[in-house]
Amino acid sequence: MGNQRGRPMKARPRILQTARELFLSHGLDVSLDTIAAEAGTTRPTLYSHFPGGKDALLLETFAFLNDTMQPPLRQLLQDRQQDLPALLRGFAKVVQQHFYAPENIHFQRLLIQVLVQKPELYVTLEQRPSGRVLQALSDILAQKQDEGLLTLSDPEIEATAFL
């Protein structure tokens, strides 16, 4: 990414895009100085947007994975009248297309590496408000069970098995 200096409010997305590219191409060892330089900003600016430093930047970078899957899932879930098999097929298709996209596979590998090296970040990743795919599917199954369309011992376990 070129050195594009600009207004501070435009720095955050530029930093995130640059960090994504550099983490994918160079792994976790890329320095914050390198990210700042490639994003056309300074280290203090990077820290002003990501006060937690590299960990905060990593977490925001991984949020990208979940954020890109949310619009197709929301669109699918808006149609509450579709039958359960169609809903589950649609859900599976969205998840499969998302997780098997080449760029996302690289991010998943990077995420595994981060969680091995920094297991303390798992709790933070798990608690993010967006991208709770398992929770969304659990909620769907619980709703269908409440409507009498399913008999499940535990919707969350069933959702985990489905995924």
Nearest to 73 by CA among 157, 130, 143: 130
Residues of the chain with pLDDT under 50: 1-6, 130
Class of residue 135 by CB neighbours under 10 A (exposed 0-12, middle 13-18, buried 19+) = exposed
Kindly state which CATH superfamily the domain 8-131 is placed in: Tetracycline Repressor, domain 2 (1.10.357.10)
R_g of the chain computed on alpha carbons: 19
Summarize pLDDT for 50-67 with one digit per residue, the tens: 999 998 998 888 887 777
CA atoms in the 13 A half-sphere facing the CB of 43: 6
Domain definitions of the chain by residue range = 8-131
Distance, CA of 163 to CA of 160 (rounded, Å) = 5
